[in-house]
Structure 1
């Protein structure tokens, strides 16, 4: 049935070559394009989700800091000598003393208000034992006698709540931060202090966390009920209340075609929530996918055309030569090499005997060139040396952005200078550096990590004198320290400790990097040691980042197989990486 379709390909090597080249060129390009599109889509979706999650955690931390600052403002009133002294004089028999006490309390509230006038609209002091209500704002001053407990204080006293945050009953852009005043002996309620706070103090931060037009960022109570949204949106926060009930920490939930990001402030019973339509998250990935599909189809078309053109150009002289050779050898058959099956009857079969010896020579030549190129490529390490972990750079830049809102310029400068010195070291230094410069590079890396994890990460270096000029391959220590922080310490809750020691042993230098992280189980440690001891060269196996095997391979390449990396680790007991290099000093003329 399909004989007429197959016959042209059986009779002509030209047609076979054209079809084969089209399939070889087009099919892999199409498969690779489809796989790349899917990988890019998943990668972009993951990056967008992680970026929004990190932003929301940062917003939650900023809100917690502002609320803590306001809470400290309340305590500054309660612990003020003027408050303790004058609150007792409100029951004085002397009207003059009562008036002076009230005036002093109003002055205390007024000075406190103006110390945070950008965040506060007013302050209220309620004394249940004195039956008085003091209120100060930038527009109003009042002292009210009350025999009954006013709302919302009554609800707090009845439910025995010490602190709460509620919305202003008539102003949606303000909220109340309320804290009760309790007797020390029996914790009975004596009154309370209310701060009338402007939600506008969070406006800039919420704008930074919500650059997208179709998304919504808002603050909700612990049950998910919305308290404040910094701008209007088509998304209704009330429809996501049940999704947020009972959540803790920070995370993301997919619900009803939306991604719901949240960051819980446990001590304040608040949630910072961001809702993004799924279509918006997938928009960038889909756009990239469409461009990739167009490029892939264009590549297939170009590949097919090029393949056909190459096939035509390649087969034309072959066919012509075959015809000429057939005429010359019409009376003398070719002395073909031995075949185990049926000989070919097309043009290639006629050319086999003539090109057999040339093929052998070409094969030898290709083998020689392949070995030379492989040796040359193995010796080139510039591409790997110029790289830096993109996740580390992304986290560092995000941290600098966060520090701009809460840290001093000096702290920000220290981080930027450390990052700049790291890049300068990577770009300017040759492949063989010195131990002193390598340790300085590690210190710059840890300056950034200590800013990311303040009060949690402790780092120390103990280097024996006289080893500063010892030669060591560049980027040997920092990748190992980075692995210790990322895989050994970050999963751990307790305090982190990384220690580097450098000691001379006979004619060698022993460097150890030890952490108190989660360690490795025996099977994982054994598998890693086997990979380090493998004979094949792993320098070019992973071009995405400099890993432990790459460090080990470069040490052996520079100094010999007797040097390298060794790992000791136990589950939940930390990891110790030992590096052995020869004690070769840098000469002055090499500096």
Structure 2
């Protein structure tokens, strides 16, 4: 692979402009289409999955509403005794009746309850335990089972709820067609201490199936299962239907027990098939409501939608390639013709170079401009010899102008050699330093490293130390990682020079000069401090007003404070508004000059200067 990539790059560079343009056009079309197809596919799959999750959630909501409404409506039948004063009187008896009286009451209760059962086909039986302990029911032979039901539920649970939906233990054997009961604590009749009554309405299993089977799934392969613990209350047709007890336990272990009101959606594998599962708990019945759909259904829907998009993309690519062929004929052909003509010009044959074109677009203007250029070449060819002669004369003049600086530099070196020969150390040292300063001025460009600038400053300071007989100390505080940073040439030396002439020299006696250069984030901080005579308040105000002027005005007026004006104008022109210069001084206490410019290790001299 590493060898293949350079080969392809060489192949591309050597190919014709026509091939490059066609390839570029095809890539511009194909890459966005494929990228959009890929990203859209991911988004489409997520959206499809989200849509099915939303369907499951909506189905959950409808199921809970149906269950709550169903049991709320059927729980009303436990108030049957409120429709008839005699029924209420029978149930409100505080003591048990005689056998004859009980028989008459039971017969009356049976008739009333049986009428309600006949009216509502979902109800299998109604039974009641009166506060005085008497039991009545629409099926007297089975009415006594209410006591078993109360033991399974527990009195505390009944007292804390309006009603309780209960599945009897007989549900596991499936020996009865009505496993589900609505049991209510008769709080309105239990007025005597120690006496409690309960009503029970038994519901046919078929009624639950009819109620839940009416929830539409819009033709999708959705399945519904309702569990009470590990007992299957309802299961629709589907892959998870007709599970035995062990399978139900295995299935429920894969689903975390959700809290009432939650609506989590998760994926599980059952019998080596993935399913998208929504599992919630009904707050009224406590049943776990499970809706599921095979992941294969989601995948099939996604593939169906994706194929439509792929078909449209292929048609778009075919249309784009057709346009590419048309553009090639319309745009590339005249460019190829122009390229062939330019090859003739390369062989210095200018006569058969005119191309006739009646186009008025950019290509037509390009051809006309080319024809005009050829005409200008023809008319200017005769003047090339004269221009070449003038150029040579200008080069000779420029070489002559460089003789004087080199002569002065060589003369200083000669003086240095003579001084060393006669052991005049001060003259030798000053001449050598002055020669280095002059060489630094002539040899290097406008941008140098801080290391080069420091070398030039050391030569200057060496001359001053000889002049003042080492009466001052120089301290350097330079970060090593800024040595290779590039700055404008002579950016620091004029400030050092000002410190000598306006600070240390008028002071007399000994003095101290400190140069600090540090990197602060993305900026370079330069500080020059001297303990000289300082600057008066009037002069300091004048200098600070100068630093607030427009740099262009400072360039036009360099008569006063030349060094400071020059440095400030240069950093503003070169580094822009992010740079600044500041002066702090007190009379007889010294002066500090600070410069703040952008830090640039790889600054290009020509580009920066031309850009300004």
Q: TM-score, normalised by structure 1?
A: 0.48
Higher relative contact order (CA 8 A, sep 6+): 1
